Amino acid sequence: MNSEEFKKRRRQLMRMVGQGGIVILPAAPVRMRSRDVEYRFRQDSDFFYMTGFAEPEAVAVLIPGREKGEYLLFCRERNKKREQWDGLRAGQRGAVDQYGADDAFPIEDLDDILPGIMESCDRVYYTMGMYSEFDSRMADWVNTLRSRLRRGTQTPHEFVALDHLLHDMRLYKSRSEISALRKSAKVAVEAHKRAMRVTRPGLFEYEIEAEFIHEFRQNDASNSYSPIVGGGKNACVLHYIDNNAELKDGDLLLIDAGCELDYYASDVTRTFPINGKFSPEQLAVYEIVLAAQEAAIEKIIVGNHWNEPHDAAVKVITKGLKKLGLLEGSLGSLIKTAAYQPFYMHRTGHWIGMDVHDVGDYKVGNKWRMLEVGMVTTVEPGIYIGNNRKIPKAFRNIGIRIEDDVAISNKGPDILSRDLVKEPDAIESLMNDG
């Protein structure tokens, strides 16, 4: 993402906020993994979206119309000794020269400077409840201003939820964001192909997970969530992440794994036979999920609302389960009573972007949101048949999901992960012939 794009976003947000408003955006805190070892730092998505600044201990402040500078960045000072241990810091000069801040201050000066700036503003735009430590600092600053009221100090009259504005912006992806998501999906696609090529009975789920780590890191990417690598019955546990069981001949393997590349996520699922050949029952269920996914993707077009892809998937799945003899009754009543839910218990998709479950409302008022160009969603129907004695044995412990990332474009659904096979024949060929 180039610096012009970040600047454009700040300008857009400042236009929405207007004169008299102040936006306060803290960086993500550093988190400890165990004892004195930190997790690898990942910048807060909202903060990065507005600044492109990847360091911790920073606060961005936007004050539309302020003559002495509209964009202030509080960040760490340069420090030779610390940089020897932790790596380069931009410092205040870098914040201005490389990151486009109008002015920059050491993060230690925040308590001294920020309340004074807030004092001259009517409205504070801030996301409460994200970082409790920062929330309490905000409360302290407001209380400080209140305590000075008798001396003629002003306090802002209004606190506005910043996430409403910012998350609506993030929902509509620019061309360069779509291109970043496409690149992220491409890396995930290559990793899934590797996994299909190496899978065989006798390997362990973690050995397949290792293929993802390898492909992701080879491309400067990392997991966008803990990968789900579930063989056989493990595929029916929706958030299975143990990934430590042996892969059995005759079972299916469900892999839900995506990466984060340059702050943009992919989220891709494929299900395939561990021995390279679908059984008739596995194939029958797979064909239903595939048809459901195709029906849902067809609905990812401008003018449809958010729930139409889900409705389409539910219809195909319910019809399919009825045909297999796993559900009985009229299609209408099976859908109405949600009789499919023991087999399909999750939604068909979610927004995807900088976060794998990305921001953005799914409803506007009490109506489903209309799909518009630039929105990006996953499409991920599935069927999960547990170990139910009432179900014929050959169908038990089958768990299948197929998931792609789809951008809404003027030309129809743009499947970002389209290069990953999903037709049963194509999967079998890739597994057996490479």
Q: Does 380 bind ligand GLY (CB under 6 A)?
A: yes
How, if at all, do strands 103-106 and 21-26 pair?
unpaired
Of 46-54, 69-77, 94-102, 265-273, the window that binds Mn ion (rule: CB under 5 A) is: 265-273
411 residue type, one letter: K
Show contacts with Mn ion in window 389-408 (CB under 5 A). 403
Please give the Cα distance from 27 to 55 (Å, whole number). Answer: 8
Q: Out of 209, 256, 355, 414, which residue is the one contacting Mn ion (CB under 5 A)?
A: 256
Please give the Cα distance from 407 to 182 (Å, whole number). Answer: 9
x-or-dash pattern for Mn ion, window 361-380, by CB under 5 A? Answer: -----------------x--
Quick check: is 328 catalytic? no
Quick check: is 369 catalytic? no
Of these partners, ligand GLY, Mn ion, none, which one is at the site of residue 41 (CB under 5 to 8 Å by kind)?
none
- Please work out, in degrees rounded to the nearest 5, the angle formed at the alpha carbon of residue 256 by the alpha carbons of 255 and 260: 130
Of these partners, ligand GLY, Mn ion, none, which one is at the site of residue 225 (CB under 5 to 8 Å by kind)?
ligand GLY
Taking alpha carbons only, the member of 166, 145, 147 closest to residue 157 is 145
| 17-30 burial: b if 16+ Cβ within 10 Å, else e | beeebbbbbbbbee
Minimum distance from CB of 111 to ligand GLY (Å)? Answer: 39
How many amino acids of this chain bind Mn ion (CB under 5 A)? 4
Of the listed 256, 308, 404, 414, which one is catalytic?
A: 256
Please give the Cα distance from 245 to 229 (Å, whole number). Answer: 9
Q: Any idea which residue has 């990793």 for tokens?
A: 191
Residue number, 308 or 403, with CB nearest to Mn ion: 403
Distances (CA, A) of 278 to 57, 249, 353, 384, 431: 52, 11, 33, 16, 11
Residue number, 229 or 326, with CB nearest to ligand GLY: 229
Local structure of residue 109 (DSSP, 8 states): G
Q: Does 267 bind Mn ion (CB under 5 A)?
A: yes
Residue number, 308 or 380, with CB nearest to ligand GLY: 380
Quick check: is 346 catalytic? yes
Of 19-27, 203-211, 255-263, 369-377, the window that binds Mn ion (rule: CB under 5 A) is: 255-263
Quick check: is 76 catalytic? no
Minimum distance from CB of 267 to Mn ion (Å)? Answer: 4
Do 364 and 164 form a contact (C-beta atoms < 8 A)?
A: no
Taking alpha carbons only, the member of 310, 200, 317 closest to residue 250 is 200
Do 376 and 306 form a contact (C-beta atoms < 8 A)?
A: no
Do 96 and 47 form a contact (C-beta atoms < 8 A)?
A: no
Structure tokens at 37: 């070892």
x-or-dash pattern for ligand GLY, window 250-269, by CB under 6 A? Answer: ------x----------x--
Active site residues: 36, 239, 256, 267, 346, 350, 357, 380, 384, 401, 403
List residues binding ligand GLY (CB under 6 A).
Answer: 225, 256, 267, 350, 380, 403
